[in-house]
Chains A and B, each alone.
Chain A
Amino acid sequence: MRRALLLVITLFPGIVLADDLNSADTAWILTSTALVLFMTLPGLALFYSGLVRAKNVLSVLMQCFAIACLVSIMWMIGVYGLAFGDGGSINKIIGLGNIMIADIKLESMSGTIPEIVFFMFQMTFAIITPALVVGGFAERMKFSAVLWFSALWLILVYAPVCHWVWGGGWLSDLGFMDFAGGAVVHINAGIAAIVAAIVLGNRKGFPETPMAPHNMTLTVAGASMLWVGWFGFNAGSALASNNSAGMAMAVTHISAAAGSLAWMACEWFKFNKPSVLGIVTGMVAGLGTITPASGFVGPMGGLAIGLISGVVCFFATQYVKRVLKIDDSLDVFPVHGVGGILGTLLVAVFYANSFGGLVSDEAYSIVSQLGVQAIGVVATIAWCGVITFVLLKLIDAFVGLRVDDDDEIQGLDLALHNERGYDI
């Protein structure tokens, strides 16, 4: 028997016993980790910085970079333990332990990949989520307040929600489905951004004063990096190098393309001219909305979700900007928030076989799953909204949230960082 097994493993090295290291899986997740970090640095950093005025370009880059560094260290020190640790009696709510990731040894495994690789992969998600929130308070928040907020928000909002959904918490017990972060990343970031935009108040002169993007080429370069990186985000969330990852990549891509065209069509129809900002924003909408569904739906679902998200997020953006006149400067809520909510709910629909989904359970009920998804959506919105509000008020009391008028007019690059982005 032993000789036969040895023969099989020698001839077919891919056949591996459970929880033994799978090289292919490991290689893919190592790669995905790099891709997702790339989404923040420089993908999101460029996307956002091109959208603000020239005098604030460095402040956005600085915030994204600093958040990446800060979250990395915090993730190691204890936040990974909060998100993925075993909380014992309170494990339904939060994890505990693994301070300084002391429990992760060289040989430690997480499924078929080394746990240290899983730790790194998840870190990149923890990095990009608070970085996304930057868009809600761009051009007017103090740098020290950004750091305090990002750090505390990571511990009090990101880690718990991540634990509920992926770390063995109560939402995963309910059967809540979130393949790559519709709730954990996008709803969280979107809600935090709009709360921050409201608490901080509008930028001086908004909405009458023109505050056009100073460099759309940076934005498009960044958006392109987001598309490529998102393959790591969604296909990597399969945590394996397999059919699931391949399908996730495909539906992600189709949704991105569909979302782009849908937004472009809406803009063409409503404003007579399609814009490049529109097409890349549609892309982000498509990508954000497919994120929770990426491992559960088929290509048709990807197409449908992409098209729907392009249209819905387009009108959501108009509504927040023109009707509510909230200065969510880089439209984080209508794109990531609304997209995340939409995608998290649509999972239930497009998971079904009748919509080309990948479900194998014959007794699957769309309505029943929709109910579970809705619980997760509401719980995330409520927790994130309330805690974000409280954190901001607290930080305002101790440190002050907003720069003063003179600094805001001069621009954060000079006022807060003593630097100029351009010397033309």
Chain B
Amino acid sequence: MKMIAAVIKPFKLDDVREALSKIGIQGMTITESKGFGRQKGHTELYRGAEYVVDFLPKIKIEVAVDDDKLDDVIEAITKSASSGKIGDGKIFVSSLEQVIRIRTGETGSEAI
């Protein structure tokens, strides 16, 4: 099992959700976050006091997937989250040790 964390631009969230839904992904967790990579921040000006704001709003999507679904999920996210411009984000894949469904106690692939 793998845990996928994808940091994407906020306005792409609906597209990514739809794309994942199409390939059978049932659930996900999203977090509102801030970050930057190569994308530049913006400047704000208040009565002559200038501030450079580096951190840009991002959405982090976390999805647990079975190994056999991994490539499909990566392709779905990559296609739907892309705008072609700097700041589209990154996908991080890590191994998932264990998954438990709280209500029923199911574990492993049954719980995803």
A-side residues, CB < 8 A to B, are 207, 210-213, 271, 273, 275, 277-278, 281, 317-318, 321-322, 331
Q: Is the interface of B mostly helix, strand, loop or mixed?
A: strand
Instruction: Return chain A residues, CB-CB under 8 Å to B45.
Output: 271, 273, 275
User: Are A321 and B48 in contact, CB atoms less than 8 angstroms apart?
Assistant: yes
B-side residues, CB < 8 A to A, are 44-49, 51-53
Q: How far is the CA of A321 from the CA of B48 in the complex (A)?
A: 8
Report which of B44, B49, B52 forms a contact with A321, defined as CB distance below 8 A: B49
Instruction: Return chain B residues, CB-CB under 8 Å to A281.
Output: 47
Q: How far is the CA of A212 from the CA of B53 in the complex (A)?
A: 10
Task: Return A118 CB to nearest CB of chain B, in Å.
Answer: 37
> Other CB < 8 Å A-B pairs besides A281-B47, A318-B48, 17 of them?
A210-B44, A210-B51, A211-B49, A212-B46, A212-B51, A213-B46, A271-B45, A275-B45, A275-B46, A277-B46, A277-B47, A317-B47, A317-B48, A321-B47, A321-B48, A322-B49, A331-B47
Selected A-B contacts with CB under 8 Å, 20 pairs:
A207-B49, A210-B44, A210-B51, A210-B52, A212-B46, A212-B51, A213-B46, A271-B45, A273-B45, A275-B46, A277-B46, A277-B47, A278-B47, A281-B47, A317-B47, A317-B48, A318-B48, A321-B48, A322-B48, A322-B49
Task: Return B4 CB to nearest CB of chain A, in Å.
Answer: 29
Q: Closest residue to A51 on the B side, CB-wise? A: B46
User: Are B47 and A210 in contact, CB atoms less than 8 angstroms apart?
Assistant: no
Instruction: Return chain B residues, CB-CB under 8 Å to A331.
Output: 47
Q: How far is the CA of A207 from the CA of B47 in the complex (A)?
A: 13
Q: How far is the CA of A281 from the CA of B45 in the complex (A)?
A: 14
Task: Return B40 CB to nearest CB of chain A, in Å.
Answer: 16
